[in-house]
Chain A
Amino acid sequence: MIRAFWLILALLAAGSASAQNLRIGLREDPDILDPTLSRTYVGRIVYMSLCDKLFDINERLEVVPQLATGFTWEDPRTLRIALREGVTFHDGERMDAAAVVYSLNRHMTMQGSFRRSEISEIDALEIVDPLTVRIRLKNPSAAFMSQLTDRAGMIVSPRAAEALGRNFGTRPVCAGPFRFVERVAQERIVVERFEQYWDRANIHFQRVTYLPIPDNNVRLANLQSNAIEFGERMEPDDVRTAQRSRNLRVVPVEEIGYQGITINLGRGPGGSNGLARDARIRRAFELSIDRTAINQVVYEGMYTPTRQPLPPANPFHARDFAPPGRDIAAARALLREAGVTGPLTVEMIVPNNPDLRQVGEVIQAMVREAGFELRLRAMEYASALQAASRGEYETFLTGWSGRTDPDGNMYTFMRTGGGQNDGDYSNPAVDRLLDAARTEMDVERRIALYADIMRIAVAEDASRVYLWHRKNIMIHSTRLTGYSPVPDGLVRLQGMRLR
């Protein structure tokens, strides 16, 4: 009798779920769907349905269990991870310690892996028992855990990965809430509910279709005409239109990255520009910019002006480090002090997007009053990247999508010789602090270290001008409930349903 009752309930649940098909409009078409080989941000949105990770992050950027149930540091270099029992991959294989070790090894050794540098601290992997893994690190690392909350923490089915090899990304098999159905490049990615998912009670859709719709106006039109239920990374000027509609809801989520100006301090032919000469000139440049005005003029006041790489949502965000107000008199005084007499010509590369071109023009007008002649060079993205890496630029208006751990927003950008340090900034004191912050496990002490770094690298050296933190503006149908925004902007399907 009880069994029959459950059966009926299950059938009813299945019936109600079958009507639940969600369509998500993506801003770009993702690249390959292999957690080891993929690189794009938009791909991570799709992984939220396909591939669970050892850990996830919550809205306060705290690490929470997913495929793992918990972790302990046996010592500063040894991490013990307990795995969830009874988890299966989409091909029916069991998710256990051997699969975790296999996946981490794949991330570390596969040719063309983009995860290798993220988990390069791993020294050895051990299977303690079928549900326990021990990871030994080369050095203590406060940032390591956060890597396991992203693609490096995604566990793939060893059997499928072996069978498909480098083509795994054309038919990914993981342990997420949905299994892969089909992909038509530039058209759609379809996933279907995985009935053996460990947290299936929280999954209410039968099918999710991801549709790349790059044009913002068209993505909005799709939302307005009910052709999609969710649109990610919408534009600030879409907000008012969406708010006028009774059927749409706007959810702005603060991002974990930033937008700013990289200054070339010594790389290649652009490294001998006027700003590279003297930190006072760079401080004058910063003082002549009004971040609040840029935000009002270009972004309808939606974004958060900043002076640092860590957004307020990040627990390591430096307090008492607000952006300075615009002060033309002080800027002129600094320039005089640095011996600058006539107008100082500086060139800035601006990505060829309407909003960033407009930002460039606003900055151009602002800094002119202090005595800078800013020349704008609008460039398509791939060309701009090349110019930056070769030092064929003086300043570059660019951004970073951000990582949850502060190390991911700072280390490679500020450390001498860092991989993303395109301006060749170098200060031994900052290097020491960055190294220390990386291994410091005490949160309060780590916060203090990052605050020190910002005081030196940003306030004194003015090595980079941070401008604002964007918002991931999500717009969804009011029929959709249960969406809980997380600052990384990824769309987690748990708890979401359509009325």
Chain B
Amino acid sequence: MLRWLARRFAQIIPTLIVLSVLIFGLQQLMPGDPALILAGEERGDPMVLAQIRAELRLDRPLPEQYLNWIGNVLVGDFGFSWRIREPVAKLILQKLPVTFQLASMAFIIAVLIGVPAGILSATRRDTPTDWIANGIALFGISMPNFWLGIMMILLFSVELGWLPPSGYVSLTEDFWESIATTIMPAFVLGTGVAGVLMRHTRAAMLGALAQDYVRTARAKGVAERVVVWKHALRNALIPVVTLGTIEFGRLLAGAVLTEQIFTIPGFGKLIVDAVFNRDYPVVQGVVLATALIFVALSLVADLLYMAVNPRMRQA
């Protein structure tokens, strides 16, 4: 087990090195000169442009820029936002809890809807329950987030006045207000994931229910509820857990559109604004942080496998 963990960690290091080069390199391919956009309406002054380039070392060779950045990152310095002069690490730490809260709420909503619906439609295959569940899943997957978001704002904020239309209040500031500001975006995000989870749970359950051991259990007269919940579901959950962690990672990477609509100051909004403003240190920092989260989550997924499926523990 420990050796397995050590091996996994050893694999992570080269991944991160390649990633950092990719992040830095891809960004250079973006059209648009950061000095020009940073200069704003003063861009007509060549002196201003030269000054910006010198200050941000944009006039240095690319390898030097890269080494300078990665060297600082290794000692924990992600640099400063060019646009608002805040440390990138501070911005990441400020936005991460927001995104984490939103992603967790969305994920809980997704699991609460998706997994039971999947089980239900698998056990009642080809009945009206199955069709309705499938219809809802399709609705969740195919509904554009921005449209659903705007509709919810119009209904719950403008018409009914129940929820604030946008913005964010942190959990520590005001718990209920925090839930009120995040419930709509979490629902919008959650419905999409719920659809995916439902489809996969259904398929995995159908597969498991057709297995020999299930037939054996039924033949031995085990109650149907025990067959479904204890025998089939436990095996069916393995692919669902993998998918769940990947989906959770995707939610953490920032729900760009949803955060934009609801003006939730999370990761997605941070990176989109940074890209449009060519705020390179923020783009680099956020993408690297996201990559780290993904790597960590895939590790968690592997550990969860073992918890769910004893056979994996011998590997």
A contacts, CB < 8 Å to B:
29, 31-32, 37, 39-41, 111-112, 114, 116-117, 166-167, 169-170, 184-188, 211-215, 217-218, 221-222, 224-227, 380-383, 385-387, 389, 400-401, 412, 418-421
Report the minimum CB–CB distance from A44 to chain B (whole Å). 11
Q: A225-B158, A227-B165 are in contact. Are A412 and B86 (CB under 8 A)?
A: no
B94 lies within 8 A of A184 (CB): yes
Q: Is the CB of A213 within 8 A of B263?
A: yes
From A116, A225, A385, name the one whose CB has the most chain B CB atoms within 10 angstroms: A225
Q: Which of B1-56 contact A (CB under 8 A)?
A: 31-34, 36-48, 51-52, 55
Q: Nearest-CB distance from B249 to chain A (Å)?
A: 22
* Given A39-B38, A112-B51, A222-B165, A184:B261 Cβ within 8 A: no
Contacting chain A: which of B210-218, B265-273, B284-292, B306-314?
B265-273
Q: Is B262 part of the contact surface with A, judged by Cβ < 8 Å?
A: yes
Within 8 Å by CB of A383, from B32, B81, B154, lies B32
Shortest Cβ distance from A419 into B: residue: B44
Contacts of B273 in A (CB 8 A): 29, 186
Checking A32, A166, A224, A421 against B84 with a beta-carbon cut-off of 8 angstroms, the contacting residue is A32
Chain B residues near A389 (CB, 8 Å)?
33, 36, 43
Report, as a range, how many residues of chain B touch the other chain.
35 or more
Leading 4 A-B pairs by shortest Cβ distance = A419-B44, A39-B40, A382-B32, A420-B44
Q: From known contacts A39-B41, A218-B166, infer whether A225 and B33 are also in contact, taking CB-CB under 8 Å.
A: no
Q: In whole angstroms, what is the CA distance A227 to B278 when docked? A: 31
Bound state CA distance, A37 and B82, in angstroms? 11
Asked if B36 contacts A385 (CB within 8 A), the reply is yes
Shortest beta-carbon distance, B251 to chain A, in Å?
19
How far apart are the CA atoms of A116 and B39 in the complex, in Å?
A: 13
Chain B contacts for A117, CB-based, 8 A: 42, 45, 47-48
Residues of A within 8 A of B262 (CB): 218
Residues of B within 8 A of A111 (CB): 51, 55
Complex CA distance for A315 and B263, rounded to whole angstroms: 40
Chain A positions within 8 Å of B39 at CB level: 39, 114
Does B150 interact with chain A (Cβ within 8 Å)? yes
The reply to whether B158 and A170 form a contact with Cβ atoms under 8 Å apart is no
| Contact between B41 and A112, CB atoms less than 8 A apart | no
A-B contact pairs, 15 of them (CB 8 A): A39-B41, A112-B52, A116-B48, A185-B91, A186-B263, A213-B166, A217-B153, A218-B165, A224-B158, A227-B157, A227-B166, A381-B276, A382-B36, A385-B32, A387-B31
The minimal Cβ–Cβ distance linking B237 to chain A, given in whole angstroms, is 38
Task: Give the chain B neighbours of A167 by CB distance below 8 A.
Answer: 85
A410 to B150, CA, bound (A): 41
A419, B47: Cα distance in complex, Å? 10
| A166 CB contact (under 8 Å) in B85, B94, B260 | B85
- Find residues 70-111 in chain B having any chain A CB closer than 8 Å to their own CB: 81, 83-86, 91, 94
Taking A29-B273, A185-B270, A224-B158 as given, write out 20 further A-B residue pairs in contact, using a Cβ cutoff of 8 Å, ordered by the A residue number.
A32-B85, A112-B55, A116-B48, A170-B85, A185-B86, A187-B265, A213-B263, A214-B260, A217-B153, A221-B157, A222-B166, A224-B157, A225-B165, A227-B165, A382-B278, A385-B36, A400-B41, A419-B43, A419-B46, A421-B44
What residue of chain A has the Cβ atom nearest to residue B153's Cβ? A221
Q: How far is the CA of A211 from the CA of B167 in the complex (A)?
A: 8
Residues of B within 8 A of A387 (CB): 31
- Contacting pair B167 A114 (CB below 8 A): no
Report the bound CA distance from A421 to B46 in whole Å.
Answer: 12
Distance of A225 Cα from B37 Cα, bound (Å): 35
CA A215 – CA B262 in complex, angstroms? Answer: 9
Partner of A380, one of B32, B46, B47, B52: B32
Question: Within the assembled complex, what's the spacing in Å between the Cα atoms of A170 and B87?
Answer: 11
A382 to B278 alpha-carbon distance, docked (Å): 8
In the bound complex, CA of A156 to CA of B91 (Å)? 26
Whole-angstrom distance from the CB of B275 to the nearest CB of chain A? 9
- In the complex the two chains form, what is the Cα distance from A226 to B158 in whole Å? 9
B152 CB to nearest chain A CB (Å):
10
Within the complex, the shortest CB–CB distance from A22 to chain B, in Å, comes to 15
Given contacts A412-B44, A418-B44, A419-B44, contact A221 B85 (CB under 8 A): no
Give A380 to B51 CA distance when docked, in angstroms. 25
- B40, B81, B261: the one contacting A114 at CB < 8 Å is B40
Give the chain A neighbours of B294 by CB distance below 8 A: none
Q: B41 — which chain A residues lie within 8 A by C-beta? A: 39, 41, 400-401
Q: How far is the CB of A320 from chain B (nearest CB, A)?
A: 30
Contact A114 B36, CB 8 Å, known A29-B273, A218-B166: no
Which residues of chain A are within 8 angstroms of B153 by Cβ–Cβ distance? Answer: 217-218, 221
* Residues of chain A lying within 8 A (CB to CB) of residue B63: none
Which residues of B sit under 8 angstroms from A381, Cβ to Cβ? 37, 276
B33, B81, B150, B166 pick with most chain A CB within 10 angstroms: B166
Q: Does B69 contact A (CB under 8 A)?
A: no
Inter-chain contact A212/B263, CB cutoff 8 Å: yes
A221 touching B36, Cβ below 8 Å: no
Is A221's CB under 8 angstroms from B165's CB? yes
Query: Is the beta-carbon distance between A227 and B51 smaller than 8 angstroms?
Result: no
The verdict on B168 contacting chain A, using a C-beta distance below 8 Å, is yes
Residues of A within 8 A of B33 (CB): 382, 385-386, 389
- A residues less than 8 Å from B34 (CB atoms): 382
Distance of B90 from chain A, by nearest CB (Å): 9
* Contact residues in B for A419 (Cβ distance below 8 Å): 43-46
Contacts of A227 in B (CB 8 A): 157, 164-167
Are A221 and B158 touching (Cβ within 8 A)? yes
CA distance A167 to B164 in the complex (A): 33
Partner of B150, one of A166, A186, A187, A217: A217
Q: Enumerate chain B residues within 8 angstroms of A184, measured Cβ to Cβ.
A: 94, 265
Q: What is the distance, in angstroms, from A386's C-beta to the closest C-beta of chain B?
A: 5
| A213–B48 CA distance with the chains assembled, in angstroms | 30
Q: How far is the CA of A212 from the CA of B84 in the complex (A)?
A: 14
A114 contacts B48, C-beta separation under 8 Å: yes
CB-defined contacts of B154 to chain A, threshold 8 Å: 221
| Contact code string B118-145 (vs A, CB < 8 Å = 1, else 0) | 0000000000000000000000000000
**Quick check: is B161 within 8 A (CB to CB) of the other chain?**
yes
In the assembly, what is the distance between CA of A387 and CA of B276, in Å? 16
Q: Tell me the minimal C-beta distance from A218 to chain B in angstroms.
A: 5
B269 pairs with A186, CB closer than 8 A: yes
